[in-house]
Structure 1
Amino acid sequence: MTHGADTHLRKSLNAFHLWGIAVGLVISGEYFGWSYGWATAGTLGFLAVTAIVAAMYIAFIFSFTELTTAIPQAGGPFAYAYRAFGPWGGAIAGFATLIEFVFAPPAISLAIGAYLAVQFPSLDPRTAALGAYAIFVALNIVGVGIAATFELFVTILAVGELLVFMKVVAPIFSLDHFVAGGWAGSDTPTLRSLGGMFAAIPFAIWFFLAIEGVAMAAEEAKEPRRTIPIAYVTGIVTLTALAFGVMILAGGSGDWKALSNLNDPLPQAMRRAVGDSSGWLHMLVWLGLFGLVASFHGIIMGYARQMFALARAGYLPAALGRLHPRFRTPHIATIAGAAIGVLTIYSDGWIRFGGQPLTASVVTLSVFGALTMYIMSMLSLFRLRRREPDLVRPYRAPGFPVVPGFALGMAAVAAVAMVYYNAAIAMLFVTVMVIAVLLSVRLRATALRDHGNRTDMVAASDA
């Protein structure tokens, strides 16, 4: 176990840094992954699903912010569920979050490889993914201030690049192209298209997945009770506008079906507007990498802090809760999460289901973790409102209980639909969760025997 100063992260992040993290964590979802939703739902069906999911995320973020500002700890959802439901609730929320954040980077790193392959056709995407891990694990270890500043820089570039994409593609946008066969291949809604819409839920969630990761930087934020609400609200507005702009304009650029199973839909859509040799296309490929890098880098920051918080509380081996003696970052946790990601990239067989691409399978697994965490977080909000009415809440969820109730209900519906359409991946997720929770609670009990109540003090009382 780690004690005293060794368990405290350095406070160095302002509101602008946190906005960069909020948007940067998610912005790769605008560059790839979402287009797989077209393959099952069509453009119109997926547009409807995305609108519903966006409403869920807006309600969730406005509610989740109450928890983040009231309990600003690196564990984020783990800390909230622990306080609301005790050790078992903390373990469920913590490991669901960890699955979300550990399995999103492999998908993003493969997309980085796909983007680079546009310029270097002989480059193996897995080799590029491995190189990305090496670079950004090192950058995360060097220090959160440097890492967050870099995150802000690449996020601004990525947002600018999406705006350039929309401006270049807008002149060739055709509503006829966008709506043709827009209901899962049909021009009108059918039962088949309704089923396709439910199956497309994880790819709509990919537009917004991981924005909640700002909570895991709360312990390193200056004035978290003021800066975190600013970051969350401006972040969700930014991402919603970008998601709809990119999706609609790409879908109307030509035959959307040709983009529905690609890791690089935006360069292919822009190619229709400017041709193969245009400087605009090359710019999109190179600058488009910034969007992927922003999310990849930011999510590494997130999973490292979730591992750190779980280890600090005794749910994972104590070594994962150590901080680098010079940089004060969770270096061992950062490397451990990267090792899992690299194994995923090079182990297609155990996580690739139903003939779908590895990227789609990994996205789906990550979304299962996210939805479980969303449900636990909203349940924690309701329970803490009832059990701790005097808890200092600098920000209170608007429209309580309707707004958080809507977020909770939609997350539950999405989870049920995903289980139905992704039974094999659901089974994998449940198996991993059961094993992780049982082993971690046992490990924690051992840690408590060895170290008294220090684990509880760090996990639940620092707020």
Structure 2
Amino acid sequence: MTEETSSESPTLVKTLRPYHVWALGVGIVLVGEYMGWNFTVAKGGILGSLFALLVAGTMYVMVALCASELGAATKLAGGPYDWARLFIGPGAAAIVGLAVYMEYIALEAADSIVVASIAQSIFPEIQVLPVTLLVISILTFINYRGVVAALTLNFALTMTAFIAIIMFFFFNLLGIGNIPWNPAELISGAMPNGIVGIFAALQFGPWFYLGIEGAAMCAEECKHPSRAVPLGQQAGMITLLIGAGMTLFLCSGLIPASVLGVSVYPLYEAATSSGMYFLVVFLAIGTLFTCIASANGCVCDSSRSWFALSRDNFLTPWFAAVHPRYYTPYRAVIFTMPIAIAFAFSGFLDQVITFSITSGMVAYVMIPFALIRFRKMFPQHSSKVRPFIGPLQPWIAYFTIFLAIIILSTLNWGYRYNLIFGLVFYIVAYFYFNWRYKSMESEHDWERDMGWPNPVMHRS
């Protein structure tokens, strides 16, 4: 008992700055600019891809605004889980915590396999599975040793990958190297499957931005979370919107739509068509770096969600221990490794990623709903309770919920059983945890836990 108490006595330390928040959010997501988004072209052509980019981008801008306001107010490591726990209830908290965990673990597994596949393309004699295991192990160790080191690495990798996209774009725009960008490709592949295809493309629209809300999950470890979370999260969203627009513009004019829709590495393939060796190498490095950064950020975010669930006894409290030297939730970090390996070795990564998207959409319904509840419970505009106030709320939150449900419903085209399984899984989890932890409703001491006055309205 004494040993366990002493091992859990350290707490997470406040060391992160706004650029770390940016690195966490963009680092997880930028891989979606390098690959995956192009499946929107297979469904709805270039026009469908543009439609998906804009609709999903609108939803994610609003999700980021909701997450910024909630993260700056609560300053807790669990992010969406803690917002649901505080402002909705235990059932919602459990499904959001599990959804966030599944979303990031699945992405980590996919990213690690892509890194291994890239390594195999360079060195054909190596095997994918051992390298995948090695990547997951190294990134787990980095996160075990400290969040500053992990997110500083993310910043360097992500910035390099983003600069590669910017350089490619401006080389094309300024005519450097005579890159054969052809506007006729946009017209010929505009809408191959009609209106239905355009709406079906929405299911892959989240690839451009999936995971940006995770930037708020390092709030408890920020020096000044009221400033760092909104600044890092909004800067990250702007970065992704710019990157998504540049990526679609470049690839749609350099690769025929029929090829683009099934390409594994569309940005790299677009670079190879430029005939510029420098760009090909830079985009290859960017592809590798962004996959590593995404997997690294996923370890960070998934472990924080697991840590938060454990700290509140939804799971065994054993996972809530903080390392006495490195001040990381080390047991939660280590536990990400076997789960990621299990996903990676399953052989059904397209299904796993679809479950990741389903999990993300569930979270995107609950995050704005938590904000609506938060504002009703604490309408005070004091900096103590609401240090960051987003614009046009709660209307933005309501519209976010509507868009998330619309995008979620498009999984019916091609992934109907995944959608049904995911929804049944989370509905069962909601009712179980809501029944099992009903007593949590009355456990909040707002003054002691948050330094806030009692809410104006209580949850029902």
Tell me, yes or no, whether TM beats 0.5: yes
Q: Is the 8 A contact 2:180 2:274 kept in 1?
A: yes
Equivalent position of 2:238 in the other structure: 237
1:73 alignment partner, SS class: coil
Which structure 2 residues correspond to residues 198-347 of structure 1 after superposition, within 5 A? 198-274=199-275, 278-347=277-346
Shift of 1:115: 2.6
Equivalent position of 2:457 in the other structure: none
Amino acid in the other structure paired with 2:411: M
Which structure 2 residues correspond to residues 21-40 of structure 1 after superposition, within 5 A? 21-40=24-43
Amino acid in the other structure paired with 1:294: A
CA shift in 2, pair 1:6/1:162, >3 Å:
farther
Q: Is the 8 A contact 1:169 1:270 kept in 2?
A: no
Shift of 1:254: 2.9
Cα distance in 2 for partners of 1:69, 1:383 equals 16
Cα distance in 2 for partners of 1:424, 1:169 equals 42
Equivalent position of 2:169 in the other structure: 166
Amino acid in the other structure paired with 1:58: V
Which structure 2 residues correspond to residues 35-434 of structure 1 after superposition, within 5 A? 35-168=38-171, 171-183=179-191, 185=192, 192-274=193-275, 278-348=277-347, 352=348, 358=349, 360-390=350-380, 392-419=385-412, 421-434=414-427
2:37 alignment partner, SS class: coil
Between 1:360-369 and 1:293-302, the stretch displaced more is: 360-369
2:88 alignment partner, SS class: helix
Shift of 1:431: 4.3
Cα distance in 1 for partners of 2:64, 2:19 equals 18
Aligned length: 439
- State the Cα deviation string for residues 113-155 of structure 1 (Å, max 9, x = none): 3332332234443333222101101101011111121111112
Q: Is the 8 A contact 2:91 2:429 kept in 1?
A: no
- State the Cα deviation string for residues 392-446 of structure 1 (Å, max 9, x = none): 101112012322222121112112222454211113323443565566567768x
CA shift in 2, pair 1:321/1:434, >3 Å:
farther
Amino acid in the other structure paired with 2:214: G
Identity of aligned residues (%): 27
Q: Is the 8 A contact 2:369 2:397 kept in 1?
A: no
Shift of 1:237: 0.7
Cα distance in 2 for partners of 1:259, 1:364 equals 20
CA shift in 2, pair 1:419/1:82, >3 Å:
farther
Cα distance in 1 for partners of 2:334, 2:433 equals 20
Amino acid in the other structure paired with 2:244: A
Q: Is the 8 A contact 1:202 1:363 kept in 2?
A: no
CA shift in 2, pair 1:43/1:405, >3 Å:
same
CA shift in 2, pair 1:403/1:453, >3 Å:
closer
Shift of 1:3: 6.3
- State the Cα deviation string for residues 40-79 of structure 1 (Å, max 9, x = none): 1111111112111111111221222111111111111111
Query: With structure 1 as the length reference, what TM-score do the two structures score?
Result: 0.88
1:172 alignment partner, SS class: coil
1:12 to 10, 15, 21: 15
Amino acid in the other structure paired with 2:265: D
Cα distance in 2 for partners of 1:325, 1:209 equals 33
1:399 alignment partner, SS class: coil
Amino acid in the other structure paired with 1:161: A
Unaligned runs of 5+ in 1: 186-191, 353-357
Q: Is the 8 A contact 1:20 1:151 kept in 2?
A: yes
Q: Is the 8 A contact 1:169 1:250 kept in 2?
A: no
Shift of 1:248: 1.6
Give me the CA root mean square deviation.
2.6
2:209 alignment partner, SS class: coil
Cα distance in 2 for partners of 1:293, 1:366 equals 18
Amino acid in the other structure paired with 2:449: S
Query: With structure 2 as the length reference, what TM-score do the two structures score?
Result: 0.88
Between 1:364-373 and 1:391-400, the stretch displaced more is: 391-400
CA shift in 2, pair 1:379/1:307, >3 Å:
same
Cα distance in 2 for partners of 1:416, 1:44 equals 20
Cα distance in 2 for partners of 1:394, 1:299 equals 27
Shift of 1:240: 0.3
CA shift in 2, pair 1:419/1:9, >3 Å:
farther
Shift of 1:165: 3.0
Between 1:333-342 and 1:298-307, the stretch displaced more is: 333-342
Q: Is the 8 A contact 2:90 2:433 kept in 1?
A: no
Cα distance in 2 for partners of 1:100, 1:241 equals 24
